[in-house]
Amino acid sequence: MIRAAFAATALAASMALAQDTTSVILLGVGTPRPAATVFGPATAVVVGARTFLFDAGAGVMHQMATAGLGITGPHILFLTHLHSDHTVGLADVIFTSWVMERTKPFKIIGPTGTVRMVDHIEEAYSADIAIRTNGLEKNVANGWLVQPRDVVQGVVYDSAGVKITAFKVPHGEWETAFGYKIQTATRTIVISGDTSPSDAIERHAAGADILVHTVYPEPGTTANPASLGHTSPEYFRAYHTSSVELGRLAARAKPALLLLTHVVRAGATDDELLAGIRRGGFTGTVVVGKELIRY
C-alpha cells in the first residue's frame, strides 16, 4: 500500500514535470554540520521526465521523494568530488531506490575513485543484497545494480537534447573536483561543486541562465568562518569561495540568476551573505538557496 501510494505520487509528479521546461531543484543546501531542517549537498536538474542528480548528501532520497521526483532513482547521478558530505547518501540512492522497486541500473559519473567507492558500498551491503533477493522480500534480482564510471573533464553526457560537461575546479588537496555545465534546449545551468574562486567556473558560467554556487561569508565580517573550530582561514581560502570573491566572479560571468547553495553560514545572515556579493560587484539577481526551492 505504501509503495503504491509513493508510486502514484511519483507518477503524477513526473507527468507534471514532463510538461515543464528545464528546472533546478535544491534538494540539500547544507554542509557537514548536521542541522534540523537542512540536508546534505544535492541538486536536481529536471528535464522533462529525466532527473539528473548532482551529489548525494545526507537525506537525498527523502528530499527526492518530497520534491516529487520519484523513489526509484535518478536518470543519472553525477558526483562533483568524493568528500563524505557529498557522497554519504550514495548507499541511500542505490539501495533505497532498489527497495522501492527499481529494476534497471542507472549511471553514476564522477572523478577517479568513484568506481572504487561504489564497489566498496556494494560489498558493504552484500548481506542486505542477499537477504532482500533470496528472503521473503523477493526484491528484483540484481535490481540494486548501478553503472559507476570514473571520468576526466569533458562532455560526459549528450543525449536527447541534454549536454553535460564536467570541468575541473580547485578544491584544496583534492586532485580532481568537478563543476558541471548543463545545456538543454531552453537553459544553461552551471553547478560549481565545491571550489575556491575558479577561472573555469567563470568561463563556463558566462551568460548562463543559472549559476548554482557554494559560498561562505567574507572573513572579517560579523560572521567568523574560523569559529567552526576544526577549520582555519587557510582552509576556507583553499577549499571554498567567499561572498566577496563570488560577487567578483559573478560580476564578470553575468549569470541571469546566482543561486547560493552549500552555504557555510558561520553565523552569517542572508543579508550579510548578499551584502558580501554586492560588495564584490555583482548587481544581478541573487537567491540564498533553501531546501526544495525550484527555478
Query: Which pLDDT does position 236 carry in this prediction?
Result: 82
Distance CA 105, CA 183 (A): 24
Q: Where are the beta strands (DSSP E) in the chain?
A: 23-28, 42-47, 50-54, 76-78, 107-110, 147-150, 154-159, 162-168, 178-183, 188-191, 210-215, 257-263, 285-288
Query: Does residue 105 lie in a domain region?
Result: yes
Query: Does residue 279 lie in a domain region?
Result: yes
pLDDT in tens, 153-201: 999 999 999 999 999 999 999 999 999 999 999 999 999 999 999 999 9
Place of cell 547553495: 261
Neighbouring CB atoms inside 10 A of 145's CB total 16
Q: From residue 252, give the alpha-carbon distance in Å to each of 79, 89, 247, 282.
A: 27, 34, 9, 8
Domain that holds residue 32: 2-288
Query: Does residue 155 lie in a domain region?
Result: yes
Distance CA 224, CA 208 (A): 31
DSSP H or E run through 68: none
Given a contact cutoff of 8 angstroms between Cβ atoms, the answer to whether 84 and 70 are in contact is no
Distance CA 53, CA 243 (A): 25
Distance CA 156, CA 49 (A): 20
CATH number at residue 214: 3.60.15.10
Whole-prediction pTM: 0.90
Query: Which pLDDT does position 229 carry in this prediction?
Result: 55
Query: Does residue 51 lie in a domain region?
Result: yes
Query: Does residue 216 lie in a domain region?
Result: yes
Please count the structural domains in the chain. Answer: 1
Query: Does residue 229 lie in a domain region?
Result: yes
pLDDT in tens, 52-92: 999 999 999 999 999 999 899 999 999 999 999 999 999 99
pLDDT in tens, 11-51: 444 444 444 489 999 999 999 888 888 999 999 999 999 99
Catalytic residues: 85
Query: Does residue 293 lie in a domain region?
Result: no
* Residue type, position 19, single letter: Q
Query: Does residue 295 lie in a domain region?
Result: no
